[in-house]
């Protein structure tokens, strides 16, 4: 989430609170105020932004003890009872990938979001994994609005799936405009097809943001699915007030850097847009031995060929150790993994 300072408009951002509850889910409370020119006073209007992103399954984890969209729905109801002015936003990536989506092509996730009362969603790169026709079908099944102003149909020149360029919501006289942005790399990393184009985010924002202000919006939210660096660039070029972003792989990048510091450790797969997995081998230590030592330190990893023997043969290794960032959710946990691997190195030195 990125906040730009609001200036020279009859609205002010007064407070920010972001609480990370489970991976890919966050809640922000924002207080806006409109100026009364005659009485020279401010009347605050509290708006709560509920963010989810990169959510591929609705079931809880840890034997049902944590997470899951049922808990999200419960939290949403609780927050709505305390702050009825709320927007529930999905910053992309939900239709794919998952085992369930291999069968249902993301239909089960749309059903879950419909049941949970989602307001708006933008596309993630994985929304096109089953092709544009399947995505259009998922959009028709959605009870919420999809927004992706930079995704266009080449045949018509209009927004993909006849999406609106933006949406306006009003809370006690405060109008909030929302538009969506998808990273352009989706053209190469997924399957949007030859008739879909993804335009430059800054050029799109420069076209859309003035329209949003012309529609009366005092605050503009960009709901994005791109890297943090791209979001920062959008903040500089667009004039938006808040960016609600998904897709960010900062923790993966930091984990990759930390593990690269361990002597004798070799990472298997370092592509920029790789999945949230750190696979590795270490000199003089079999992956099973690595797993045993880390387990004694209370650190969870998987070891073996992970049903990927052809890939293991390609890299010339019998097996790897693998840490999933579905489990390592904080910098402290990545630090603990790196420290544990240093201990493994000491044992086999």
Q: For residue range 143-165, what is the model confidence (pLDDT) as tens digits?
A: 999 999 999 999 999 999 999 99
Helix H or strand E segment including 155: none
- 261-347 CATH pick, 3.90.1150.10, 3.20.19.10, 3.40.50.2000, 3.20.20.150: 3.90.1150.10
User: How confident is the model over 54-103, as pLDDT tens digits?
Assistant: 888 888 866 777 778 888 889 889 888 888 899 999 999 999 988 899 99
Return the bridge partners of 344, or none: none
CA 298 to chain centre: 28
Which residues are within 8 A (CB) of 292 and not within 5 positions of it... i.e. 6 or more apart? none
* 120-151: pLDDT as tens digits: 999 999 999 999 999 999 999 999 999 999 99
Residue 250: band (very low, low, confident or very high) from pLDDT cuts 50, 70, 90: low
Evaluate the omega torsion of the peptide bond into residue 121 and state whether it is cis, within 30 degrees of 0: no
CATH architecture for segment(s) 2-248: 4-Layer Sandwich (3.60)
pLDDT at 2: 58
C-alpha separations of 19 from 46, 95, 121, 239, 316 in Å:
17, 25, 20, 25, 43
Task: State the distance between the two ends of the chain, measured CA to CA, in whole angstroms.
Answer: 43
What pLDDT does residue 278 have? 86
Intervals of CATH 3.90.1150.10 along the chain: 261-347
Distance CA 93, CA 217 (A): 27
Q: CATH 3.60.21.10 residue ranges in the chain?
A: 2-248
d(CA 329, CA 129): 25
């Amino acid at each position: 989430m990125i906040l730009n300072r609001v200036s020279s408009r009859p609205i002010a951002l007064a407070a920010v609170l972001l609480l990370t509850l489970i991976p890919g889910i966050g809640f922000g409370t924002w207080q806006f105020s409109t100026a009364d020119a005659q009485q020279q006073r401010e009347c605050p209007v509290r708006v709560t932004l509920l963010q989810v992103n990169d959510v591929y399954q609705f079931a809880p984890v840890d034997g049902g003890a944590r997470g899951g969209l049922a808990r999200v729905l419960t939290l949403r109801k609780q927050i709505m009872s305390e702050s009825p002015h709320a927007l529930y936003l999905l910053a992309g990536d939900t239709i794919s990938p998952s085992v369930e989506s291999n069968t249902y092509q993301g239909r089960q996730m749309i059903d879950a979001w419909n049941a949970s009362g989602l307001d708006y969603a933008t596309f993630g790169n994985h929304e096109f994994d089953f092709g544009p026709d399947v995505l259009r079908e998922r959009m028709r099944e959605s009870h919420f609005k999809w927004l992706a102003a930079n995704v266009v149909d080449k045949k018509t020149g209009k927004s993909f799936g006849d999406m609106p360029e933006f949406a306006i919501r009003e809370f006690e006289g405060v109008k909030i405009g929302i538009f969506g942005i998808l990273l352009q790399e989706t053209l190469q990393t997924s399957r949007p097809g030859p008739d879909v184009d993804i335009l430059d985010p800054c050029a799109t924002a420069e076209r859309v943001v003035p329209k949003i202000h012309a529609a009366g919006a005092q605050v503009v939210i960009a709901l994005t699915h791109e890297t943090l660096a791209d979001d920062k660039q959008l903040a500089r070029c667009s004039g938006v007030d808040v960016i609600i972003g998904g897709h960010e792989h900062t923790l993966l990048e930091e984990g990759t850097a930390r593990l690269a510091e361990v002597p004798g450790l070799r990472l298997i797969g370092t592509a920029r847009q790789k999945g949230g997995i750190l696979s590795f081998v270490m000199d003089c230590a079999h992956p099973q031995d690595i797993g045993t030592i880390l387990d004694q330190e209370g650190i969870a990893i998987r070891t073996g060929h992970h049903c990927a023997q052809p890939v293991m043969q390609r890299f010339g290794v019998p097996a790897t150790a693998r840490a999933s960032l579905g489990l390592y959710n904080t910098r402290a946990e990545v630090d603990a993994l790196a420290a544990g691997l240093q201990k493994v190195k000491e044992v086999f030195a």
